[in-house]
Structure 1
Amino acid sequence: MAENSRILYAHEPALDVAEFRRVLVESGLGETRPVDDEARLRAMLSGANLVLTARLDVAGKPVVGVIRAMTDFSWVCYISELAVSQSAQGLGIGKGLMAEARRRLGPSVAISLISMPDAVGFYERIGMKRMADAFWFSRKR
């Protein structure tokens, strides 16, 4: 665990699905994620091998930020979600979660993600390079 002033960052591989859902909804990502499908949210969490959380003040407080990612811990990490509750936005939690991911992965692991359109500026501000060559097969549901 790494602490940054009032924010506690931790690896939580067994994050409670209700907490995950709440942060998705509170961040605005609930509009683009299956937040009403608990089984699918549970599968999303269990399929990730890197789940980082941010909590204000001390352990035991509600999660206010989450990164859910898949990585080989050697070459690349794909971040599926970076979500921060709107009440905690502007406190540096998104940037802190990304820094924690980079710290845990080390300098030899690249990080990639697909940004929501209104978050592009955030990723550019924290130094991520925009890539033009991304491809996508849409899901059916």
Structure 2
Amino acid sequence: MAATSKLLYASEPRLDVAEFRRVLVESGLGETRPVDDEARLKAMLGNANLVLTARLDIEGRPLIGVARGLTDFAWVCYISELAVSASAQGLGVGRGLMDEARRQLGPSVAISLISMPDAVGFYERIGMKRMADAFWYGRKR
């Protein structure tokens, strides 16, 4: 990423599935997401009611990050993906997406997520509190 590039954060509810897939793969989340199942990726995007993007402010506005969540806009938001292309990791893109989520949701909406093990330190650095009492029913496929 060019040092002079500006980042643009936006709500993008109609994000293109191919761009979403590319960022998932480039971020490393492609190993844990159904990136080869286009119908499922479309459903993931179509059923999310918070889709935030980070793009470079250069020609073509390439997507470098996405936060996808489910929220009631009143009490809680669950962030199901926070994905940043490997080439942009460490540049503040993930923090920027989380800041944009907090800005759009407002101070009365809590944000929760389940971290990948190697991302725990990132969430702690941006000020999220680790919660011990989470529960999970695994998916069958």
TM-score range, shorter chain: over 0.9
**Structure-1 residue corresponding to 2:57:** 57
- Map 1:93-112; keep pairs closer than 5 Å: 93-112=93-112
Q: Secondary structure at the match of 1:41?
A: helix
Percent of aligned positions that are identical: 83
- Residue-by-residue CA offset, 1:47-100 (whole Å, 9 max, x unaligned): 100000000124741110000000000000000000000011111000000000
- Residue-by-residue CA offset, 1:90-117 (whole Å, 9 max, x unaligned): 1100000000000000000000000000
Match for 1:26: what amino acid? E
Match for 2:88: what amino acid? A
Number of residue-to-residue matches in the alignment: 137
- Gaps of at least 5 residues in structure 2 are none
Question: What TM-score, normalized by structure 1, do the two folds share?
Answer: 0.95
Q: Tell me, in whole angstroms, the C-alpha distance in 2 between the residues paired with 1:138 and 1:80.
A: 14
Q: Tell me, in whole angstroms, the C-alpha distance in 2 between the residues paired with 1:89 and 1:48.
A: 24
Alpha-carbon RMSD across the aligned residues, in angstroms, is 1.0
Question: What TM-score, normalized by structure 2, do the two folds share?
Answer: 0.95
